[in-house]
């Protein structure tokens, strides 16, 4: 570390040591250490599912760690609720705001506090809050109702809420995800004024540009483990960050057999589509997949890849462009038609989309073929056929569950994913969309899932693989597209697993550099070094 | 996520705190049943306590309620008469609730069903001397038709414009009752009285007492064929829910709407059809009440069956077969209300049973642990 760094002398406000937090089937934090100094902006970087939010939820008293210790101002603390954390001066601003739309800004800020007790002299509090917002440059009208505010203003209310509660340590969970570029600049100014006032900030993000722009030090998590522990930002390039964040650890190698590919199965031309907020998520994407080919999409979460999966399966409308499957026009056709065509879809969200948690294993495995022979007869579901189908799949895909009438909410993540795979692969789909097929699974389960996907490829399926695990994409894909903000940054046709150069290129493209700009960037970076 | 504390964060005065953990393993099948039974016992004990505080003798009261509802063939028959519309409406609600369509409008659908059935006699669609089977079939179809229309209105509004069905079904109740009153007070009024003329006997559902000439024990027993129809309806609803494609779709939409979309199920269509069938079942309850009990079209034919049916469905955990015994229990409590003074006592017991049963659900989902307070 650099000598004379003012932060070295600074006082430690948060010290987390050896934090372990597990969820069924996943170790979200595996002996994580984290240190925060007073008056710094500390970035917590990592891909989705790397354990950033879990770690911060432990600090904010929302989760309790299984092992490890948390020290605030060098005193060990045991939070049993968010309130305990707030009393210790820790405030967290979540990605999804926790505000009451019909109340005013002041009312929202006062919610849940002991003062005022009964009589609300709102004018007095309005003034106090106006003064506070003045001090930190958080411009917002205390009398405005929250529903009238823009997203950026609502975020300011959340920040004010924490400051009003006397938070010294602020945790911001991907604060820029919802903001427009101008608002991001304003937020950064505010954050600067906060640290100038002696606050300490933890900034959770997976956007390299922002981390480089705002933070003093950073900690990087990958798969629940620390890959960089509080390193200062001087001399760090985007390239280094990409490597730390994406990482590469080849656990096992497959022999991916080269084999002849067939005709185009999926053909997407100039697709445009909007996300749930009504903004363009896909901006003119075109590509195709042949039979027997796995095409990977590499992107940081929220760059249009989820919307792409929904558009090609019929779950989301495209505003422009065409989708063709096996030569037939599938643009904006209902989901049902794709299912009848045999399109398989392993969705990103296995509990909220992929399964019905309170229904049993049988009901969940027949989700796609309940209407077809031999399970559907006329208007009736043949439960005998459905049960034997479920039993066959349980044996074939090794789903560990005592009974096929067990509700699937009791299944572990790995078993639930095997159930979805069993359902989607059992019909030998000509076209398969797999979104994050191995997220949150342990090594053994990952290998099993990846082998199943390769088997489908050998049997001639066209597979669209969307993953945030670069490792997985490199291992499975025949070709790879890198997405950034709904556009294709580049196509990689010679995919190798052991190529650091390639990983760096992909990392740069994932953060917004087009393939044809790569050379300039590389040279710029080397000069900088 | 893993634990909820009763008093979050605040320093507790007590050295122990009660922790709740969600049950992760599958519960054995006897647990729900024994919990429900335990809840009813606890409810009766709470009721007994209140009766005792009020100066009554709880045991004598319970014995009297039991005698008044199940004590003899005659009162048992009356209990079944009261249970019949509850079964239909319990089924109507179970079906809709399975898809998380909160149909609070069974009362209005019941009235519309009664109107539809009456119209066959009063318009008249059939001459008074038409054979009984023609009357009964047409009355049932017409009752179901009008109930289905009343149910599908909020269904359509929900499917097309996402109108909250709780509000629309509730409001349609008042419209249905006012609509029926127009005919009761005006069009079909018998000599200015607030009721229609009595229906001809061949439009009545057969009652046990009608067969007293062959089986003398049946004399005076008013249980009518509607009860058998209701039990058959329970079988049909069970079959639809658990053995048909449509029922599978209903259960899937009800458990996870997004999964249903992902499975290619047309949700709007299902909303309309489920509300239609739910309304038809409630309409059939109206027809069975008109043709089996009242034998004329008049006001106040329901002591809130449409709302009690919601409770029945809920207590039966939306299981069509369980709707039958629960309806009989509630039929008994309605009947006892006439025997016991003040008549609020059985209503109070109903309420306590409901609260206890719903509360007992909590123990199915959580395990209670008492642990020592950790010093913060």
Among A112, A143, A138, A140, residue whose Cα is nearest residue A125: A143
Q: What DSSP designation does B75 have?
A: H
Residue A67 domain-assigned (yes or no): yes
Give chain A's domain count.
3
Residue predicted with more confidence, B260 or A256: B260
β-bridge mates for residue A201, sequence order = A41, A170
Burial B319-348 (b: 16+ CB within 10 A, else e): bbebbbebbbbbbbbbbbbebbeeeebbee
Q: How many Å apart are CA B356 and CA A189, to the nearest integer?
A: 56
Q: Which of B10, B243, B260 is opposite residue A383, by nearest beta carbon?
A: B243
pLDDT confidence band for B164 (50 / 70 / 90)? very high
Q: Which of A28, A65, A80, A165 to probe by mutation at the B interface, max B CB count within 10 Å?
A: A80
Find the range with the poorest average confidence among A321-330, A409-418, B9-18, B56-65. B9-18
Together in a domain, A201 and A86 = yes
Residue B287 half-sphere exposure toward CB, CA atoms < 13 A: 33
Contacts of B8 in chain A (CB under 8 A): 80-83
Query: A140 lies in a domain?
Result: no
Q: Residue B102: is its pLDDT beyond 70? A: yes
Contact B256 A355 (CB under 8 A): yes
Predicted local confidence at residue B83, as pLDDT: 95
What are B322-371's pLDDT values in tens digits?
A: 999 999 988 988 888 777 766 677 778 888 888 888 888 788 777 776 66
The correct CATH number of B57-340 out of 1.10.3470, 1.10.760, 3.40.50, 1.10.1760 is 1.10.3470
Nearest-angstrom CA–CA distance, A168 and B69? 67
Structure token pair of residue A216: 């003093």
Residues A409 and A288 in one domain: no
How many CB atoms sit inside 10 A of residue A268's CB?
23
pLDDT for the residue numbered A3:
40
Sequence-distant (≥ 6) Cβ neighbours of residue A359 within 8 angstroms: A407, A408, B251, B252, B255
pLDDT exceeds cutoff 60 at B373? no
Cα–chain-centroid distance for residue A257?
Answer: 31
What does the alpha-carbon distance between residue B336 and residue A141 come to, in Å, rounded to a whole number? 61
Q: CA geometry: angle at B40 spanning B39 and B45, to 5°?
A: 95
State whether A221 and A358 are in the same domain.
no
Residues 6+ apart with CB under 8 A from A230: A34, A35, A42, A217, A218, A219
| Residue B108: strand, helix, or coil | helix
Report the distance separating Cα A140 and Cα B48, nearest Å: 58
Nearest-by-CA chain B residue for A340: B264
Question: Is residue B102 helix, strand or coil?
Answer: coil
Which residues of chain B neighbour A64 with C-beta distances below 8 Å? 2-3
∠ CA A447-A448-A452, rounded to 5°: 115
Quick one: pLDDT at residue A346?
94
Domain of A178 in residue numbering reads as 14-102+167-246
User: Is residue A44 one of the residues assigned to a domain?
Assistant: yes
Residue A303 covered by a domain: yes
Contacts of A314 in chain B (CB under 8 A): 264
Q: Percentage of chain B with pLDDT > 90?
A: 55
Residue A330 included in any domain? yes
**Binary contact (B266, A336; C-beta < 8 A):** yes
Q: Which of residues 52-71 of A touch B (CB under 8 A)?
A: 62-64
pLDDT tens string B129-148: 889 999 999 999 999 999 99
Give a three-class secondary structure readout of A113-175.
Answer: CCCCCCCCCHHHHHHHHHHHHHHHCCCCCCCCEHHHCCHHHHHHHHHHHHHHCCCCEEEEECC
Q: Residue A474: CB partners within 8 Å, gap ≥ 6?
A: A296, A480, A495, A496, A497, A502, A503
Q: Which positions in chain B touch A345 (Cβ < 8 Å)?
A: 262
Q: Are residues A226 and A204 in the same domain?
A: yes
pLDDT of the residue at A294: 94
Chain centre distance of CA A520: 30
Please tell me the predicted confidence (pLDDT) of residue B19: 67
Q: Which residues of B touch A311 (CB under 8 A)?
A: none
Judge whether residue B160 has pLDDT over 80: yes
What tokens were used for A8? 């070295």
A494: contact with B, CB 8 A cutoff: no
The answer to whether residue A306 neighbours chain B at the CB level (below 8 Å) is: no
Chunked into runs of 10 residues, chain A (529 residues) has average pLDDT values of: 48 89 77 90 81 87 87 87 86 84 88 74 85 85 85 86 89 79 82 89 82 88 84 79 66 65 89 87 93 91 89 92 92 91 90 90 93 88 93 89 85 84 91 88 75 90 89 88 91 79 82 77 45
Evaluate whether residue A386 is within a structural domain.
yes
Predicted confidence (pLDDT) at residue B87 exceeds the cutoff of 90:
yes
- Closest by Cβ to B248, choosing from A78, A370, A410: A370
Please answer yes or no on whether A345 and B374 come within 8 Å at the CB atom.
no
The closest of A308, A318, A303, A302 to A287, measured between CA atoms, is A308
Mapping DSSP onto H, E and C, the string for A22-53 reads: EECCEEEEEEEEEEEECCCEEEEECCCCCCHH
CB-based contacts of A223, cutoff 8 Å, min separation 6:
A30, A49, A50, A51, A247
Claim to verify: residue A391 and residue A508 sit in the same structural domain: no
Residue A406 shares a structural domain with residue A323: no
Which whole number is the average pLDDT over B187-204?
Answer: 88
Signed CA dihedral, B124, B127, B131, B132: sign only: positive
Same domain, A424 and A435: no
Put simply, the answer to whether B262 touches A366 (Cβ < 8 Å) is no
Q: Are strands A294-298 and A462-467 parallel, antiparallel or unpaired?
A: parallel
Give the model's confidence band at B3: pLDDT under 50 very low, under 70 low, under 90 confident, else very high: very low
CATH of the domain at A18: 3.40.50.300
A30 touches B at CB < 8 Å: no
**Residue A209 confidence (pLDDT):** 75
Domain boundaries along the sequence of chain B: 57-340
């Amino acid at each position: 570390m650099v000598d004379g760094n003012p932060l070295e002398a600074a006082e430690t406000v948060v010290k987390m040591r050896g934090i372990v937090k597990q969820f069924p089937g996943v170790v979200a934090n595996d002996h994580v250490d984290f240190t925060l100094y007073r008056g710094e902006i500390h970035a917590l970087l990592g891909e989705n599912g790397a354990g950033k939010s879990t770690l911060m939820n432990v600090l904010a008293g929302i989760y309790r760690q299984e092992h490890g210790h948390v020290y605030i101002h060098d005193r060990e603390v045991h939070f049993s609720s968010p309130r305990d954390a707030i009393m210790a001066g820790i405030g967290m601003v979540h990605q999804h705001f926790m505000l009451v739309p019909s109340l005013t800004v002041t009312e929202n800020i006062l919610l849940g506090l002991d003062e005022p007790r009964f009589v609300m002299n709102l004018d007095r509090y309005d003034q106090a809050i106006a003064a506070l917002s003045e001090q930190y440059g958080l411009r917002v009208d205390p009398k405005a109702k929250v529903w009238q505010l823009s997203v950026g203003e609502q975020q300011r209310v959340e920040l004010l809420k924490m400051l009003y509660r006397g938070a010294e340590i602020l945790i911001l969970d991907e604060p820029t995800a919802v903001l427009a570029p101008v608002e991001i600049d304003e937020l950064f100014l505010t954050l600067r004024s906060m640290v100038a006032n002696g606050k300490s900030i933890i900034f959770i993000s997976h956007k390299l540009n922002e981390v480089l722009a705002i933070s003093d030090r950073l900690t990087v998590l990958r798969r629940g483990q620390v890959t960089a522990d509080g390193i200062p930002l001087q001399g760090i390039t985007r390239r280094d960050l990409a490597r730390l964040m994406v990482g590469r650890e080849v656990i096992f190698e497959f022999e991916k057999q080269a084999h002849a590919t067939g005709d185009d199965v999926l053909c997407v031309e100039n697709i445009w589509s909007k996300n749930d907020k009504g903004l363009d998520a896909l901006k003119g994407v075109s590509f195709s997949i042949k039979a027997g080919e796995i095409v990977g999409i590499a992107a940081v979460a929220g760059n249009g890849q989820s919307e792409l999966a929904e558009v090609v399966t019929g779950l989301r409308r495209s505003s422009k462009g065409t989708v063709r499957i096996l030569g037939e026009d599938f643009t904006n056709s209902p989901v049902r038609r794709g299912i009848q065509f045999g399109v398989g879809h392993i969705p990103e969200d296995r509990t909220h989309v992929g399964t019905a948690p309170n229904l049993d294993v049988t009901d969940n495995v027949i989700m796609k073929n309940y209407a077809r022979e031999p399970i559907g007869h006329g208007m009736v579901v043949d439960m005998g056929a459905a049960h034997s189908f479920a039993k066959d799949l349980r044996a074939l895909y090794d789903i560990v569950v005592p009974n096929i009438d067990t509700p699937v909410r009791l299944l572990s993540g790995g078993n639930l994913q095997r159930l979805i795979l069993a359902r989607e692969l059992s019909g030998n789909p000509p076209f398969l969309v797999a979104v994050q097929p191995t997220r949150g699974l342990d090594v053994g389960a990952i290998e099993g899932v990846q082998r199943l996907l390769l088997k489908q490829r050998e049997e001639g399926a066209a597979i669209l693989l969307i993953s945030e695990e670069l490792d997985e994409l490199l291992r499975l894909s025949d070709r790879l597209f890198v997405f950034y903000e709904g556009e294709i940054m580049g196509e990689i046709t010679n995919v190798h697993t052991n190529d650091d150069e390639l990983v760096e290129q992909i990392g740069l493209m994932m953060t917004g550099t087009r393939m044809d700009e790569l050379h300039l960037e590389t040279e710029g970076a080397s000069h900088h070094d | 996520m893993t634990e909820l504390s009763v008093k979050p964060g605040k320093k507790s005065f007590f050295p122990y705190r009660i922790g709740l953990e969600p049950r992760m393993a599958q519960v054995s099948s006897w647990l729900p049943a024994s919990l429900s039974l335990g809840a009813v016992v606890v409810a009766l004990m709470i009721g007994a306590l209140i009766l005792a505080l009020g100066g009554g003798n709880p045991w004598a009261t319970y014995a009297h309620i039991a005698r008044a509802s199940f004590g003899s063939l005659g009162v048992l028959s009356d209990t079944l008469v009261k249970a019949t519309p509850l079964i239909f409406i319990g089924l109507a609600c179970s079906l809709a609730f399975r898809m998380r369509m909160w149909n609070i409008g069974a009362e209005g659908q019941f009235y519309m069903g009664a109107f539809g059935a009456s119209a066959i006699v009063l318009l008249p669609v059939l001459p008074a001397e038409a054979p009984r089977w023609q009357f009964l079939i047409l009355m049932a179809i017409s009752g179901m038709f009008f109930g289905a229309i009343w149910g599908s209105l909020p269904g359509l509004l929900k499917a097309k414009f996402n109108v909250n069905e709780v509000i629309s079904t509730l409001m349609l109740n008042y419209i249905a009752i006012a609509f029926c009153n127009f005919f009761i007070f005006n069009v079909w009024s018998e000599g200015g009285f607030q009721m229609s003329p009595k229906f001809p006997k061949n439009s009545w559902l057969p009652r046990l007492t009608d067969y007293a000439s062959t089986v003398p024990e049946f004399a005076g027993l008013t249980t009518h064929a509607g009860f058998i129809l209701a039990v058959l309806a329970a079988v049909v609803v069970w079959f639809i829910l658990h053995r048909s494609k449509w029922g599978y779709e209903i259960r899937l939409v009800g458990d996870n709407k997004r999964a249903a979309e992902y499975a290619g199920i047309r949700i709007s269509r299902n909303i309309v059809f489920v509300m239609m069938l739910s309304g038809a079942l409630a309409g059939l309850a109206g027809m069975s009440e008109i043709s089996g009990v009242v034998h004329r079209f008049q006001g106040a034919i329901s002591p809130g069956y449409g709302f009690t049916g919601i409770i029945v469905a809920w207590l039966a955990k939306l299981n069509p077969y369980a709707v039958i015994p629960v309806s009989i229990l509630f039929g008994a409590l309605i009947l006892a209300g006439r025997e016991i003074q003040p008549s609020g006592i059985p209503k109070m017991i109903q309420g306590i049973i409901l609260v206890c049963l719903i509360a007992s659900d909590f123990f199915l989902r959580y395990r209670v642990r008492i642990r020592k307070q950790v010093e913060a």
